[in-house]
A and B are shown apart, each in its own frame.
Chain A
């Protein structure tokens, strides 16, 4: 039905897809999996006409095709459902369903009677009964997702691409979605299904393609691939070059003691966290393990007050901190290095010096006037200590390399003398040398008595750097590995374990 050969796509500074092949047969549900940066979303965007490939060929029903716009892809029979519902919330359900192809009557005016009837029928076919004249946003997220699906299918689709369709659905809504997918299969439509939830994949998909670092690493029947193998393919841990020796040194290095410096109790956030608890002692590095979308970043953000928690408490050294307030968390000594460094971390237009001093500014000024001498001293100390490479402290941070930007952010927080550091993917997108330096720094900081929470998709980094690893799946803690248990094998097993079966061992 749809086959892709040798597809490549580069962006400035990164090769997102490197000669990827993909073949989807009619009436097949094809899982597309991979961790962050594996190239899934780029592949989907090429298939749906958002990006144009640099090299490679797309063949749809025997004919080579090239799409300049999403509309062309839709007309050719490839429809997409995005993770976030991509419809117009203020317009009615029927108008959303039929935008651009409304049935028209006399004088070229839209025939609403026919449109509403057709919309009603299309939704009933998917098992959804709503008043199609109501605005889309008055529906639940699941129902909205169904409308998007109905739109995708109604456009005479041959291939339907679903990009994490279940990420904001309730379990019951997921059931409905799966029934619809089975109906699509019966009609001979091919489905490309992207998700991180292993249970879902095994339930609904026939075939799987695993991408890693822009390359295809595996294609085959999903039933013949066990969970552990699938996870290790995704994470790229088959070669098993483990820093066994280094690890032992780490665990010996920060022997921790005393009362926990950070306690998070039963943090719950709708659609992302279900009662997550963890404790962090001074001088300890705790890793957060799990696949993409398991709630790792959300945990860190909820602790730092950047994501309002529906319930749960956060205590620093036994003292409760108001949740949902970044300033309160910062005052209590919690610092977060966010995952999206460029959008949420650095202030690109300001200099290295001003970025470092940003959070600590009130403490570095007198009567509202900036005390330049003190700032210079602080900046100087951190530039030397963290070995930040910039042409001068006045260089704009936007011009620095990723590793140096990350060090600037670390410096910003260290200038606040925090007690807890939450590091969300601290080494992503930075070069090898800088990675080693940042890892060294994390160790150093823990040795000085900070509590560090480390989130990393890099298995080696997570295992090597952490004293303990808390494993998350679908927004809940499913395992905790301590001491000698902190190994890649145990981690993979914990991640791959069956729903409800607990960490199998």
Chain B
């Protein structure tokens, strides 16, 4: 995700004395503070990546079956869906919000896509996007305009989406199947250069997301709203519109992820998605995004997703361990990351 880094856009344009890597020492600044600042920023930005590499290395040494092509390809595809959900969640969390409805929207998206696939690929993709997008939009409007607490609005939306899902599947008893020969099913099943199509789609979405967050004006507003809402409003940022946009985006991402997942499974499985919102939030936070908002990056969320999936894979490889350890580990991870973030944040304030 080279696009995601601000410093990577060529050498700094500033002429004169200040060299590229060495900021000119300013009289106003305390150097010690800035060094601590840079260290903690480094830990926050790359901590997850370092952990991911270490865990992956340990796993490939420890288990012969880890670093095989099959296993990696499998992990990549199964990460893809969570990654798309986490992509939308990253935007929401950077604005200082939270979206607990994505798990239900993911399941709903899958069911709608499977149902719609009989009318062609366009319907199969557009129907879940439309429905989940509208639910996200309503979330955003209730949060930004009616000023309701995000967690309660999105919890209600979670319930609503689940209700809608049950009512279109005869209370969960009908599972719509996708015709395996259709183009829609191919989207989930085929591989390109040995890598599954969902992985390619996810990669493309992440590049787009990173560009939107880092290089577009909308992205700047997202950071500003999360960093200091009042200041953002005083600086003329469209606070309400930005919030509505991120919740809509999160709904769209969850719906799309569900649709792709249905194409992969060639059916709209109704019992999916429970707890997915927690996995997505964990991935985002582990990736270095602050739950208090204003700071974070798309690439981190991808690393967070991969880290969760690798840990899951390792736990599965250790035959004796139950897969439930995955939840304990990610919960503990979440707690540790949040404590570290709060602690680093407080230390900075004191410096």
Which A residues are closer than 8 A to B by beta carbons? 69-71, 74, 80, 82, 86-92, 95, 99-100, 102, 104, 108-110, 112-114, 116-117, 120, 128-135, 137-140, 142-143, 151, 172-173
Q: Given A86-B231, A88-B224, A135-B37 in contact, is the A74-B236 Cβ separation under 8 Å? A: yes
- Docked CA distance A339–B33 (Å): 34
Q: Which residues of A contact B324 (CB under 8 A)?
A: none
- Inside 8 A of B236's CB, which chain A residues have their CB? 69-71, 74, 99-100
Contact A86 B294 (CB under 8 A): no
Partner of B227, one of A89, A102, A130: A89
CB distance from B28 to the nearest CB of A (A): 4
Residues of chain B with a CB closer than 8 A to A130's CB = 23-24, 26, 29
CA distance A322 to B146 in the complex (A): 45
* Closest 5 pairs (CB-CB, A-B): A131-B23, A71-B236, A117-B13, A88-B227, A109-B215
Most buried by B among A90, A109, A143: A90
A134 close to B28 (CB less than 8 A): no
B227/A133 in contact, CB under 8 A: no
Chain A residues whose C-beta falls within 8 Å of the C-beta of B290 in the assembled complex: 90
Q: Which residues of B contact A71 (CB under 8 A)?
A: 236
Choose one: A90, A109, A129, A151; the contact of B26 (CB below 8 Å). Answer: A129
By a CB distance below 8 angstroms, the chain A residues around B216 are 108-110
- CB proximity of B11 to chain A, nearest CB, Å: 9
| Minimal Cβ-Cβ distance residue in B for A88 | B227
Residues of B within 8 A of A151 (CB): 235
Output the least CB separation between B40 and chain A (Å).
11
Q: Does B72 contact A (CB under 8 A)?
A: no
Is A113 a contact of B13 with CB atoms below 8 Å? yes
Besides A88-B294, A130-B26, A142-B28, 13 new A-B residue pairs in contact (Cβ under 8 A), listed by A number:
A89-B294, A90-B294, A99-B224, A100-B235, A110-B216, A110-B220, A112-B9, A116-B14, A117-B13, A129-B24, A130-B24, A131-B14, A143-B28
CA–CA, A102 and B41, complex, Å: 25
Chain B residues, Cβ within 8 Å of A143: 26, 28-29
Q: Assess whether A110 is in contact with B295, with CB atoms less than 8 Å apart.
A: no
- For the complex, give the distance between the alpha carbons of A438 and B84 in Å: 64
Please classify how large the interface on chain B is, using the bins under 10, 10 to 19, 20 to 34, 35 or more: 35 or more
Contact among A87, A88, A131, A135 for B24, CB-based, below 8 A: A131
Instruction: With both chains docked as a complex, state the minimum distance between the C-beta of B220 and any C-beta of chain A, in angstroms.
Output: 6
Which residues of A lie under 8 Å from residue B223 when comparing CB positions?
88, 90-91, 95
CB distance from A141 to the nearest CB of B (A): 9
Contact A95 B220, CB 8 Å, known A116-B14, A117-B13, A132-B14:
yes
Q: How far is the CA of A121 from the CA of B348 in the complex (A)?
A: 28
Rounded to whole angstroms, the CA-CA distance of A120 and B217 in the bound complex is: 20
| 8 Å CB contact of B9 from A99, A113, A135 | A113
Q: Collect the chain B residues with CB atoms within 8 Å of residue A90's CB.
A: 223, 227, 290, 294-295
27 contacts between A and B (CB under 8 A): A69-B236, A70-B235, A80-B234, A88-B231, A90-B227, A99-B220, A99-B224, A99-B237, A100-B220, A102-B217, A104-B217, A108-B216, A112-B9, A112-B215, A113-B9, A117-B14, A129-B24, A130-B24, A130-B26, A131-B24, A133-B7, A134-B23, A135-B41, A139-B28, A139-B29, A140-B29, A151-B235
**Residue B194 CB within 8 A of the other chain:** no
B69 interface residue, CB < 8 Å from A?
no
Q: How far is the CA of A337 from the CA of B26 in the complex (A)?
A: 43
Chain B residues with CB under 8 Å of A110's CB are 215-217, 220
User: What distance in Å separates the Cβ of A117 from its nearest Cβ neighbour in chain B?
Assistant: 4
Cβ-defined contact, A88 with B232, below 8 A: yes
Q: Is B319 an interface residue (CB 8 A)?
A: no
Q: Least Cβ distance of A77 to chain B in Å?
A: 14
A70 to B234, CA, bound (A): 6
CA distance A138 to B237 in the complex (A): 23
> Smallest distance from the beta carbon of B240 to chain A beta carbons, Å?
12
Determine the distance from Cα of A69 to Cα of B224 in the docked complex, in whole angstroms.
Answer: 18
Q: Are A138 and B10 in contact (CB under 8 A)?
A: no
Can you name the residue of chain B whose Cβ is closest to the Cβ of A118?
B13
Q: Chain B residues near A133: list those with CB within 8 A.
A: 6-7, 12
> Roughly how many angstroms separate A71 CA and B23 CA in the complex, as a whole number?
33
Least CB distance from A271 to B in Å reads 14
B190 at the interface (CB under 8 A from A): no
Provide the bound-state CA to CA distance between A88 and B27, in Å: 22
B175: interface (CB < 8 Å): no
Contact status of A114 and B13, CB under 8 A, knowing A88-B227, A90-B227, A133-B6: yes
Taking CB atoms and an 8 Å cut-off, the chain B residues in 187-213 that contact chain A are 211
User: Closest CB-CB distance, B279 to chain A, in whole Å?
Assistant: 26
Chain B residues, Cβ within 8 Å of A134: 23, 34
Q: In this complex, what residue of B is CB-closest to A115?
A: B13
Q: How far is the CB of B55 from chain A (nearest CB, A)?
A: 28
Docked pose: A183 CA to B331 CA in angstroms: 56
Q: Residues of A contacting B17 with CB < 8 Å?
A: 129
Give CA–CA (A143, B221) in the complex, Å.
23
Give the distance to chain B from A385, nearest Cβ to Cβ, in Å: 43
